[in-house]
Amino acid sequence: MSVERTLMLVKPDAVKRNLEGKIIAHVQEKGFKLVALKKLRLTKQQAEKFYYVHKERPFFDELTDFMSSGPIVAMVWEGENAISKIREIMGATNPEEAEEGTLRKLYGTSIGENAVHGSDSKESAAYEILFFFSELEIVE
């Protein structure tokens, strides 16, 4: 096992419903350490840059429109196997298919408005963390 860092975003749908605190508490209760946190609003261009890996996918415009539609909360979490374990905590992309007790089952309303985003690999975590945070903003 290795200590990792991963990025998680609380998406505009969940921020609009004031779920940030519940989502943070849920992840903390699973034993992960919050090492960076900020609330911001992406422009359409920033959302396109962040989600560049999906540029050729049919949902790209809808995704980037949604992610720039309101405030988000960006967080860096640290812990043993944080990338895969936090993805488990988040649940399946489609809330209808997510396991009971996962964030998306609890707070997602559709496959597009599914409350949270999380890095899916070490490579994406490295890119995504640096997209939102400088080294000075990540606190041990």
**Domain chopping of the chain, boundaries:** 3-133
| Averaged confidence pLDDT in the chain | 97
Name the architecture of domain 3-133. 2-Layer Sandwich (3.30)
Distances (CA, A) of 122 to 15, 21, 48, 109, 128: 26, 26, 21, 28, 10
Q: List, in sequence order, every residue forming a beta bridge with 41; answer none if it has no partner.
A: none
- pLDDT tens digits for 10-26? 999 999 999 999 999 99
Establish whether 59 is an annotated binding residue: yes
Closest of 47, 70, 76 to residue 60, by C-alpha: 47
Buried b (16+ CB within 10 A) or exposed e, 33-64: eebbbeeeebeeebbbebbeeeeeeeebeebb
Establish whether 102 is an annotated binding residue: no
How many residues does this entry show for the chain?
A: 140
Establish whether 5 is an annotated binding residue: no
Residue 1 has pLDDT above 70, yes or no: no
Using 50, 70 and 90 to split pLDDT, how confident is the model at 140?
confident
- pLDDT tens digits for 61-120? 999 999 999 999 999 999 999 999 999 999 999 999 999 999 999 999 999 999 999 999
Sign, Cα dihedral of 72, 36, 49, 103: negative
- pLDDT tens digits for 23-74? 999 999 999 999 999 999 999 999 999 999 999 999 999 999 999 999 999 9
Catalytically active residues are 117
Establish whether 114 is an annotated binding residue: yes
